[in-house]
Amino acid sequence: MPEEHKPYHHGNLVPVLIETTITLIEEIGAENVTVREVAKRAGVSAGAPFRHFKSKTALMTAVAEQAIERLLEAVNAAQDPALEDDPLAQIERIGIGYLNWVRHNPTHFQVISNRELIDFESSVLAVQLNAVIRQRMAELLTRARDQGDLAPGLEVDTVILGCRAMVYGLARMYADGHFPEWQPGGEPFDWMKRTLSAMMVRLRA
């Protein structure tokens, strides 16, 4: 009597699909990933992922959600309770946490930074977690301004954007492999931290 083949079932398919997608991005690039190939690698039917994700964009957005969850964890872990009376030092720690996250999660960074791959605004989770980081920065910079620690004439919103641009630019250079041509000597993460520290000096009163 022939062996009966039962359908393959994952106990929790969503994280499997997300991790499989990340692996594929690392192997063939995000633009070449298909939901069909993700399903094949995950060992499920071609239609199984569509029970959870209606499109490749939805799947990539789920990867982005995981990315920003890990980013928030990295930012929070970088905060130093001993520096709470020095809000600008805590701002610098947020930047270091971000850069450290990029160093350890380059694929996540590539996905979340490409708005053509994901539908960021449709993700309540991603928007909320991003807002948590921004609100923490706003609170710290407002406190720095009120304490007289922020250089005169600087507006909180402008500084938030400037900090974001600086850290994102350094992260982009790291992810795209630009450091060898701009700073041939030394470890890129050390250069990123030194550059961030130099910018923070300019913010102080």
Segments making up each domain of the chain, as ranges: 1-53, 66-203
CATH T-level topology, domain 1-53: Arc Repressor Mutant, subunit A (1.10.10)
pLDDT of 173 strictly over 70: yes
Q: Read off the pLDDT band of 1 (50, 70, 90).
A: very low
- Give residues with Cβ within 8 angstroms of 59, minimum separation 6: 17, 18, 21, 35, 38, 49, 53
As a whole number of angstroms, the distance between CA 141 and CA 135 comes to 10
Backbone angles phi, psi at 204, to 5 degrees: -80, 145
- The amino acid present at 87, given as its one-letter code, is P
Task: Return the exposure string of 54-81: e unless at least 16 CB atoms fall within 10 Å of the residue's CB, then b.
Answer: eebebbbbbbbbbbbeebbebbeebbee
Backbone angles phi, psi at 133, to 5 degrees: -65, -45
* pLDDT tens for each residue of 25-79: 999 999 999 999 999 999 999 999 999 999 999 999 999 999 999 999 999 999 9
* pLDDT tens for each residue of 5-21: 334 455 689 999 999 99
As a whole number of angstroms, the distance between CA 133 and CA 183 comes to 30
As a whole number of angstroms, the distance between CA 65 and CA 110 comes to 13
Q: Read off the pLDDT band of 184 (50, 70, 90).
A: confident
Residue 151, class by beta-carbon neighbours within 10 Å (0-12 exposed, 13-18 middle, 19+ buried)?
middle
In this prediction, residue 40 carries a pLDDT of 96
The verdict on domain 66-203 having CATH code 1.10.357.10 is yes
- Does pTM top 0.85 for this prediction? yes
